[in-house]
Amino acid sequence: MAREPLLEVRGLGKSFGRRGVLRDVSFELARGAALALVGPSGCGKSTLARCLAGFEKPDTGQILFEGQSLGGRIHPAIQLILQQPAAALNPRFTAEEIVAEPLAIQRRGTRQARRERAREAMERAGLARAAAGKRALQFSGGERQRLAIARALVIQPKLMILDESLSGLDAGVRAQVIGWIDEARRTTGLGCLVVSHDIAMVAGWVEEIAVMDDGAIVEHASTARLIAEQRHPLTRQLWEASAALALPS
Amino acid sequence: MKFLAGRILHSLFLLAGVSLLCFLFAALAPGDYFAELRMDPTVSNQTIAGLRARAGMDRPFLARYGAWAASALRGEFGYSLAYGAPAGPIVGERIGATLLLTGTATLLAWLLAVPWGVWSAARRGAWLDGISRAILALLLAVPDLLLAIVFLALAVETGSFPAGGMVSRDFSSLGAAAKLRDAAWHMALPVAVLVLGMFPVLARHVRASVAEALDSPFVLSARANGIGERRLLFRHALPAALNPLISLFGISVGTLLSASLLVEVVMGWPGLGPLFLEAIMARDFAIVLAVVMLSTVFLIAGNLLADLLLYRADPRIRVRS
Residue with more model confidence, B301 or A245 = B301
Instruction: Give the model's pLDDT for residue B38.
Output: 74
Q: Which residues of A touch B226 (CB under 8 A)?
A: 74-76, 105-106
Instruction: Give the model's pLDDT for residue A169.
Output: 76
Instruction: Give the model's pLDDT for residue B320.
Output: 64
With H, G, I as helix, E, B as strand and everything else as coil, classify residue A198.
coil
Q: Which residues of A touch B319 (CB under 8 A)?
A: 135, 137-138
Smallest CA-to-CA distance from B23 within B56, B46, B48, B54 is with: B56
Would B249 be classed as within a structural domain?
Answer: yes
Smallest CA-to-CA distance from A211 within A224, A226, A225 is with: A226
Mean pLDDT, rounded, for B53-67: 84
Quickly list H helices, chain B: 2-28, 45-54, 61-73, 87-122, 127-141, 144-158, 176-214, 217-224, 229-231, 238-254, 261-267, 272-282, 285-313, 315-320
How would residue B164 be classed by pLDDT, with cut points 50, 70 and 90? confident
CB contact under 8 A, B217 and A87: yes
B122 to chain A, minimum CA–CA distance in Å? 16
Mean pLDDT, rounded, for B215-223: 85
Cα separation of A236 and B47, whole Å?
A: 99
Q: Which residues of B touch A148 (CB under 8 A)?
A: 221
CB burial string A3-41: b at 16+ within 10 A, e below: eebbbbbeebbbeeeeebbbbebebbbbbbbbbbbbbee
Q: What are the φ and ψ backbone dihedral angles of A134, each rounded to 5 degrees?
A: -80, 155
CB A170 within 8 A of CB A142: yes
Task: Give pLDDT tens digits for B6-55.
Answer: 888 888 899 999 999 999 998 888 877 777 777 777 777 788 788 777 77
Task: Give pLDDT tens digits for A130-184.
Answer: 888 888 888 888 788 888 888 888 888 999 999 888 777 778 878 888 888 898 8
User: At A123, which helix (H) or strand (E)?
Assistant: helix A111-124
Instruction: Give the model's pLDDT for residue A249.
Output: 41
CB contact under 8 A, A80 and B319: no
A154 to chain B, minimum CA–CA distance in Å? 11
Cα separation of A73 and B97, whole Å?
A: 56
How would residue B166 be classed by pLDDT, with cut points 50, 70 and 90? confident
A151 to chain B, minimum CA–CA distance in Å? 10
- Report domain A1-77+192-249's class: alpha beta
Instruction: Give the model's pLDDT for residue B283.
Output: 87
Cα separation of A73 and A71, whole Å?
A: 5
Q: Tell whether B224 lies on the interface with A, counting CB pairs under 8 A.
A: yes
Q: Which residues of A touch B310 (CB under 8 A)?
A: none
Cα separation of A97 and B49, whole Å?
A: 74
CB burial string A167-189: b at 16+ within 10 A, e below: ebbeeebbeebbebbeebbeeeb
Task: Give pLDDT tens digits for A14-46.
Answer: 998 888 899 999 999 999 999 999 999 889 998
Q: Which residues of A touch B223 (CB under 8 A)?
A: 55, 74
Would B68 be classed as within a structural domain?
Answer: no
Cα separation of B125 and B104, whole Å?
A: 33
Task: Give pLDDT tens digits for B265-303.
Answer: 988 899 999 999 999 988 888 999 999 999 999 999 999
Instruction: Give the model's pLDDT for residue A2.
Output: 58
Residue A54: closest C-alpha in chain B: B224
Q: Tell whether A128 lies on the interface with B, counting CB pairs under 8 A.
A: no
CB A79 within 8 A of CB A163: no
Smallest CA-to-CA distance from A216 within A6, A12, A65, A9 is with: A12
Instruction: Give the model's pLDDT for residue B82.
Output: 86
Largest CA distance in chain A: 54
How would residue B136 be classed by pLDDT, with cut points 50, 70 and 90? very high
Q: What is the model's pTM?
A: 0.77
A162 to chain B, minimum CA–CA distance in Å? 12
CB contact under 8 A, A87 and B218: yes
DSSP string, A3-35: PPEEEEEEEEEEEETTEEEEEEEEEEEETT-EE
Is the pLDDT score of B158 beyond 60? yes
CB contact under 8 A, A151 and B231: no
Q: Tell whether A155 lies on the interface with B, counting CB pairs under 8 A.
A: yes
Instruction: Give the model's pLDDT for residue A126.
Output: 80
Residue with more model confidence, B160 or A98 = A98
- pLDDT above 90 covers a percentage of chain A that reads 42
Which residues neighbour B235 within 8 Å (Cβ) at sequence distance 6 or greater?
A: none
Mean pLDDT, rounded, for B194-200: 94
Would B42 be classed as within a structural domain?
Answer: no
Is the pLDDT score of B203 beyond 60? yes
CB B273 within 8 A of CB B99: no
Residue among A80, A91, A102 minimizing CB distance to B316: A91
Q: Which residues of A touch B239 (CB under 8 A)?
A: 92
User: How does DSSP classify residue A221?
Assistant: E
Task: Give pLDDT tens digits for B92-112.
Answer: 999 999 999 999 999 999 999
Rounded mean pLDDT of chain B? 88
CB B203 within 8 A of CB B120: yes
CB contact under 8 A, A78 and B216: no
Would B8 be classed as within a structural domain?
Answer: no
Q: Tell whether A101 lies on the interface with B, counting CB pairs under 8 A.
A: yes
CB contact under 8 A, B315 and A82: no
Q: Tell whether B321 lies on the interface with A, counting CB pairs under 8 A.
A: no
Alpha carbon distance, N-terminus to C-terminus of chain B: 11
Would B121 be classed as within a structural domain?
Answer: yes
Q: Tell whether B45 lies on the interface with A, counting CB pairs under 8 A.
A: no
Instruction: Give the model's pLDDT for residue A247.
Output: 54
Complex confidence, ipTM = 0.73
Which residues neighbour B282 within 8 Å (Cβ) at sequence distance 6 or greater?
A: B33, B82
Q: Tell whether A141 lies on the interface with B, counting CB pairs under 8 A.
A: no
CB B194 within 8 A of CB B105: yes
CATH code assigned at B111? 1.10.3720.10
Would B12 be classed as within a structural domain?
Answer: no
Cα separation of A159 and A76, whole Å?
A: 9
Distances (CA, A) of B229 to A106, A218, B134, B212, B232: 13, 39, 25, 16, 5
Cα separation of B240 and A79, whole Å?
A: 23
Instruction: Give the model's pLDDT for residue B59.
Output: 84
Is the pLDDT score of B249 beyond 90? yes
Residue-number span of the structural domain to which B230 is assigned: 88-320
Count: domains in chain B? 1
Instruction: Mutation target for B interface from A55, A74, A107: give the one with most B CBs within 10 A.
Output: A74
